[in-house]
Structure 1
Amino acid sequence: MNTYDFIFFDLDGTLTDSGPGIMNGFAYAIEKMGGKVSDPAELRQFVGPPLKESFERKLGYSPEDSEKAIAFYREYYNDMGGRLQNSVYPGVEGMLAGLKAAGKKLIIATSKGAHGTEIVLEHFGLCPYFDFVAAANDTDRQSKTEVLRYAVQMCGVGDIRKAVMVGDRENDMTAAKNLGMDSIGVLYGYGDRKELTDAGAVLLAASAEEVGNLILAGRDNSQ
């Protein structure tokens, strides 16, 4: 049986339902760039992935236009209340408290910037649960893989088999796979079962409580 000692958590769509603020931020940026959002439901795809990836790969913006759009997004998200259009998922605090009590090292690994991450964690009283917070930046930590690699290095993970990534989107599962780490895909966030399994999720959880149970149970090496 393989036990997990280092637990890396995505933030948006995994610990908090930040979708409303993120989707409103994208709508604001797209409209500021001269576009129009015909179906607000399509904005769900932007909850989780890095901003640059969303604007360039999914929306087809040039690198220059992407930078402008990101600035508009951050204007809404940081200065117009977007980051607090957010709520903690049911069961998350109990799950974190249980893992902390069991002696697990809990780490945030998010594509959100450091300032926004800090504000969200403080606003919802989640800071005490975490031993380290790794956030994205505009230089050497733009992809989720880069953020997770940085977190692993800073936390001194010696045996990657003792670590697991918990997230709700393809980029979370892919980052874990790139580092040889197990992953748990949460089904209550913004990615569906197919997205998560196709990206290599080792385990799936339908609730925050199930996330905690899976981590405490570990993984059967015979699987």
Structure 2
Amino acid sequence: MKNKKLVLFDLDGTVTNPEEGIIAAIKYSLKHMDLELLSDEQLKKFIGPPLKDSFQKHYHLSDEESHEAVNFYREYYATKGIFENYLYPGMSDVLQILLEKGLLLGIATSKPEKYAKQIMTYFNLETYFAGVFGSKMDGTRSQKAEVISYALTHFPAIEKEEVVMIGDREYDILGAKKNGLKSIGVLYGFGSRDELEQAGATAIVDAPREIINVLI
């Protein structure tokens, strides 16, 4: 994968570790929905997929109920949880090196684009990325394949074989495949090697720095 021009990064579990804020926001939502509280380890499974889908999958909520659960989640997340987050060690160096090598970088996340841009500002990452692409606040464009497709429309001069998607969950890898892209799975996030291999990741790395070895 040495011929890439555009690198799309997932956000949660790939660039930043949002575990503390997301789990706190889920607990806040569950409390207000009067739902059974799962363990923190079980709640980690909410990190990555569209939030509405996770509420439906793990609590068998209706569309209306899951929408209400997401709204409660956002009450906490938008003001506090979004900042209970940290940049993975070494990630800023990786981004800087990729830029210096002439690669374009983008964020492709199922998180609402509004929140993703706030996180970029909070961590002073805006200068690294040529675009930040996410879902809409109404829950549309939340599937990873849709987000990636949306991101690609902003780089019309770049061919698909010149793009790679990097992420920690199967959704990132499968979204990349649906768009005809190669992918790099990362093991320092919230997915397992088995999950990433079964999804068909082109390459798998253990640490942020190893992304450089794959691409440069």
Q: TM-score, normalised by structure 2?
A: 0.96
Alignment of structure 1 residues 1-223 onto 2, 5 Å: 3-79=3-79, 81-137=80-136, 138=138, 140-156=140-156, 158-216=158-216
Count residues with an aligned counterpart: 215
Provide, for residues 115-144 of structure 1, a one-character-per-residue CA deviation record: whole Å limited to 9, x for no partner: 211111111111100001111113641211
Summarize deviations over 1:136-193 as a string: whole Å, max 9, x none: 1136412111001000111215421111000001110110011110000000000010
Kindly provide the amino acid, as one letter, of the partner of residue 150 in structure 1: Y
Give, in whole Å, the separation in 2 of the partners of 1:54 and 1:68. 13
Shift of 1:88: 0.3
2:212 & 2:118 partners in 1: Cα distance?
25
- TM-score, length basis structure 1: 0.93
Query: Structure 1 residues 215, 85: CA separation in 2 closer, same or farther (over 3 Å shift)?
Result: same
**Cα displacement (A) at 1:48:** 1.2
Aligned-pair identity (%):
39
Residue type at the aligned position of 2:181: M
Query: Contact 2:8 / 2:166 at 8 angstroms: preserved in 1?
Result: yes
Runs of 4 or more above 4 Å deviation:
none
CA distance in 1 between counterparts of 2:100 and 2:41 reads 39
1:30 Cα deviation from its structure 2 partner: 1.4
Tell me, yes or no, if the aligned pair for 2:8 and 2:107 is still in contact at 8 Å.
Answer: yes
